[in-house]
Chains A and B, each alone.
Chain A
Amino acid sequence: MNKKRNAILTIISILLLALFLVYANNFLDIYVVRILNVCAIYTILGLSLNLVNGFTGLFSLGHAGFMAVGAYTTALLTMSPAVKKQIFYMAPLIKPLDAITLPFPAALIAGGVLAALAAYIIGAPTLRLKGDYLAIATLGFGEIIRVIFTNTQNITNGALGLKGIPATTNLWWSFGTAAFTLVVLMSLINSSYGRALKAIREDEIAAESMGVSLFFHKNLSFIIGAFFAGIGGGLLGNLLGTIDPKQFNFLFTFNILLIVVLGGMGSFTGTIISAFIITIANEVLRFLDESIDLGFIVFNGKLGLRAVVFSALLMVVVLFYSQGLMGTSEFSWDRLFDKSRWGRIFQRKPLEKGGTDQ
């Protein structure tokens, strides 16, 4: 009975979301639609980072690099030859790229594949490292990508960046891709391979002794994570219309990491919720960067005050609520309708069985 109820609820939710998207597409103003797009794209990026950091326990900070690879690849493959000729005035674009134009989906996949390839190249040497060392190595890799992109004038147009990228990304693309990412990653995590990834997170030595090849599975997670990061980057580039290397600095990775930590390392649904919260809060708190006139007193806005709020939020989460919104559990209808659970939460009663509340 619960199964049937859950299936019906799921279908209704999907239909409601689709209806909302139709409504948003037709009636909401461009500003709101754009924020929704960014929400969905950040969801994709958050999901892919959570696979690596939350589920496999690899503390990787090179995500901005993979996004950059995806964004540039997709952009270069979708821009028209005329536009390319116009913006590459310092040094002409290298040969086959200057004439190629691919359909958007093909370009997105190409971006994902190239990001995955970059992950394979960087993963083989760095994934032997553990903890903080891996974080620093991947952080360095992200910066290397950025510097390379700043200096390869005849491929990426250097610091000038790419302009006039066709604005193909719309709500259907962004939400569709986010849903696809969620389904694929959920399916992976709930398979035997996903269990192996979680085993690595829990205890590397035990996992290896139970026959889980660390090298293969860490690479698998890293490559799949990078693939979706590349696709997310591609969607972002074709949403913004312009990209330059500066955009993909460490702060970008930090933003995505904030989403993952706030949502719960090891919870995909938590990532989705927090991607929306962070992205929308980022817009709502925009007034902090501007002057505030309260009539009797005027606060001078400081650019970057929003970042302070988010940093403080991250500290609060890590100090007092280190599990994040969802911990390692996922949203489910059964959980939502579990009356005894709500009772426990509100009455602060201890858990009944097994003492899992440690």
Chain B
Amino acid sequence: MSLLDVENVTMQFGGLTAVKDFNLRLEKGEIVALIGPNGAGKTTAFNTITGVYKPTKGRITFKGKNITGLRPDQITRLGIARTFQNIRLFKDLSVLDNVLIANHVHIKSNFMEAVLKLPGYRKEERAMRQKSLMLLEKVGLADLKDEKSNSLPYGKQRRLEIARALATDPTVLLLDEPAAGMNPKEAEDLTHFIRQIRDEYNLTIFMIEHHMDVVMEISQRIYVLDYGVTIAHGSPVEIQNNQRVIEAYLGVEENA
């Protein structure tokens, strides 16, 4: 049994089918990429897995449990975390607070204990802070912990988003265009970073990415979407030589 199983998921918005019969299997420890031209439905596929959208049809199983139609917070609690294509940090809050909020999902004390600052809650709060600082250290933002998150430069905001996602203790991490807007050197660093966190936190990573260097370098398998349909699936080498993928990206040659 796979860790995450997406079976025949279809997502329709009125008459528009954004994703059609999407199938995905993630095995533990894999890094898998989802690519496709703009508007192919990649982010929609993400949103159905994380519960932002409820799929019109199909079934999503995570660790053997049916999670179709659960709310995003319930899915996060089960161990699927994500980042966003257009960075969605808590802008007016500090860098540290951004990561602390993600710890809230596993809190055991109820709000009364938190208001009264009972010993059980204090202990939890201390542990949360320690863990958050460690994560910030990991992504190299520890010395910026008190800055407002929207005052960080773009690249650091991306890393903060990853730290925040890691703070929910995920098993599966979904990255939505983590290398967007990065230069080749930064993209290369990111590749190492993703491998590193995968090994360190025993993650399984599923990512949407446009940087082909990153995708080909890092992923074991690749899914290709075009107009909501999965047109190819295979290893990087297979995908690079797949005629339909080339057509989707470069267009079809007119034959007289």
Contacts and interface: CB of A to CB of B under 8 A. Distances in A.
Query: Do A and B assemble together?
Result: yes
B165 to A, nearest CB: 8
Given A191-B117, A193-B111, A208-B71, A356 B90 contact: no
Interface in B105-158: 105-107, 109, 111, 114-117, 121, 124-125, 128, 144, 147-148, 150-151
Given A193-B104, A212-B104, A212-B105, 8 more contacts: A187-B116, A199-B101, A202-B89, A208-B72, A209-B88, A211-B102, A213-B73, A328-B92
A354 B147 contact: yes
B164 interface: yes
A139 B97 CA distance: 33
A-B residue pairs, 10 tightest by C-beta: A211-B105, A191-B114, A211-B76, A202-B90, A206-B88, A208-B72, A210-B102, A199-B101, A213-B73, A193-B111
A211 B168 contact: yes
Contact of B114 (A192, A207, A355): A192
B54 to A, nearest CB: 13
B157 to A, nearest CB: 12
B125 A191 contact: yes
Dominant SS at the B interface?
helix
A93 interface: no
Contacts of A220: 111
Most chain B beta-carbon neighbours within 10 Å: one of A187, A193, A210, A355: A210
Nearest to B169: A211
Contacts of B11: none
A207 B151 CA distance: 19
Given A211-B77, A214-B73, A202 B50 contact: no
A192 B128 contact: yes
B135 to A, nearest CB: 13
Interface string A68-90: 00000000000000000000000
Contact of A195 (B52, B97, B165, B168): B97
B104 A187 contact: no
A211 B104 contact: yes
Interface in A318-358: 328, 353-356, 358
Nearest to A189: B115
Given A208-B73, A209-B50, A355 B128 contact: no
Contacts of A198: 90, 93, 97, 101
A214 B100 CA distance: 17
Interface in B65-106: 71-74, 76-77, 81-82, 84, 88-93, 97, 100-106
A354 B114 CA distance: 32
A283 to B, nearest CB: 35
A209 B107 contact: no
B114 A188 contact: yes
Interface of B: 50, 52, 71-74, 76-77, 81-82, 84, 88-93, 97, 100-107, 109, 111, 114-117, 121, 124-125, 128, 144, 147-148, 150-151, 164-165, 167-168
Contacts of A214: 73
Contacts of B165: 210
Given A209-B52, A210-B76, A210-B168, A193 B101 contact: no
Contact of B121 (A191, A206, A353): A191
Most chain A beta-carbon neighbours within 10 Å: one of B72, B148, B167: B72
Contacts of B121: 191-192
A284 interface: no
A205 B105 CA distance: 15
B52 A205 contact: yes
Contacts of A355: 151
10 contacts: A187-B116, A188-B111, A193-B114, A198-B101, A202-B90, A203-B91, A208-B72, A209-B52, A210-B73, A211-B76
A108 interface: no
A193 B116 CA distance: 12
Contacts of B151: 354-356, 358
Contacts of B144: 354
A308 interface: no
A325 to B, nearest CB: 17
Contacts of A356: 147-148, 151
Most chain A beta-carbon neighbours within 10 Å: one of B76, B124, B165: B76
Contacts of A206: 84, 88-90
B73 A205 contact: no
A350 to B, nearest CB: 13
Nearest to B148: A356
Given A192-B125, A195-B100, A213 B117 contact: no
Contacts of A328: 92
A184 interface: yes
Interface string A111-138: 0000000000000000000000000000
Contact of B115 (A191, A196, A207, A358): A191
Given A192-B125, A195-B100, A209 B111 contact: no
Interface in A170-202: 184, 187-188, 191-193, 195-196, 198-199, 202
Given A208-B71, A210-B105, A354-B147, A199 B93 contact: yes
Nearest to B149: A202
Most chain A beta-carbon neighbours within 10 Å: one of B97, B102, B124: B102
A213 B77 CA distance: 10
B184 to A, nearest CB: 27
A306 to B, nearest CB: 34
